[in-house]
Homo-oligomer: A and B are copies of this chain.
Amino acid sequence: MAGVRAAQKEKTRRALIQAAMNQLSAEHGYASLSLREVAREAGIAPTSFYRHFQNMEELGLTLVDEGGLTLRQLLRQSRQQIAKGGSIIRASVTTFMEFVTNNTAIFRLLLQEKSGNSREFRLAVTREVEHFTAELVDYLVDEQQFAREVAELQADAIVRIVFSAGADALDADTKERQRLTEQTIAQLRIVARGAESMRQAAKTKELTAP
């Protein structure tokens, strides 16, 4: 019971996942992913695909799950960078862009595939993004002492800006990506200032008309 069989199965399963990722590009999206092409790239017969996934859909959902893991990893690494000191915003955005650059396939799914998918697929992506946003809200509340309501507005705005810039970064060269990074940092600073000013206003109001 060395599990040779199970190990081999897992191996070709990974091969299928990797093959699907390799096929994702700007011109060739998830919607036009074909079972036969994926199987070919993974080096197995088309029919063997079904030994691992019931559907292309099921493979897609698996990929989104991988995306969720990547997002959590991104959060962890971001926190580590922040702990090292320096600008929180700069560290976060830089880490984010690094992750995008090094996991293009996954971020294509998370940032660019907003249409042309099954409802279930979109829900899965939304779930991961919402989880990410929720983590950011918690950070703003716990570490930055924002009121929950403002933190939610701010976090959602940040995620929209950063994810949108990330989507652009996927199809940009190094130089353009650098520009996007700096631009995003500056924009998040604007948002932070705005949120800060909301906090001040709320405090003032609280004192004058409690």
Is A108 part of the contact surface with B, judged by Cβ < 8 Å? yes
Which of the candidate stretches A8-16, A67-75, A87-95, A191-199 sits at the interface with the other chain?
Answer: A191-199
List of B residues within 8 angstroms of A161 by Cβ: 157, 160-161
The answer to whether A171 touches B112 (Cβ under 8 A) is no
CA distance A101 to B32 in the complex (A): 27
Answer yes or no: A187 CB below 8 A from chain B CBs: yes
Q: Which of A35-43, A44-52, A115-123 contacts B (4 or more CB under 8 A)?
A: A115-123
Interface of A is mostly: helix
Interface range for A: 35 or more
A111 located at the interface, meaning its Cβ lies under 8 Å from any Cβ of chain B in the complex: yes
B117 and A114 form a contact (CB under 8 A): no
| Chain B residues positioned under 8 Å from A32 (CB to CB) | 31-32, 116
What number of copies of this chain does the assembly contain?
A: 2
Nearest-CB distance from A196 to chain B (Å)? 8
In the assembled complex, how far is the CB of residue A122 from the closest CB belonging to chain B, in whole angstroms?
7
Q: Can you list, as one digit per residue, whether each of A95-114 has a CB less than 8 Å from chain B (1) or not (0)?
A: 00000000000001001111
**Which chain B residue lies CB-closest to A33?**
B116
Contact A193 B187 (CB under 8 A): no
In angstroms, Cα B111 to Cα A167, docked, is: 12
Mark interface residues in A42-84 (1 if CB within 8 Å of B CB, else 0).
0000000000000000000000000000000000000000000
Given A31-B31, A31-B32, A157 and B118 contact (CB-CB distance below 8 Å):
no
**Whole-angstrom distance between the alpha carbons of A30 and B193 in the complex?**
39
Which residues of A in the span 168-195 have a Cβ within 8 Å of any Cβ on B? 171, 183, 186-187, 189-195
Choose from B28, B157, B171 the contact partner of A122 (Cβ within 8 Å): B171
Docked Cα-Cα span, A171 to B125, in Å, equals 14
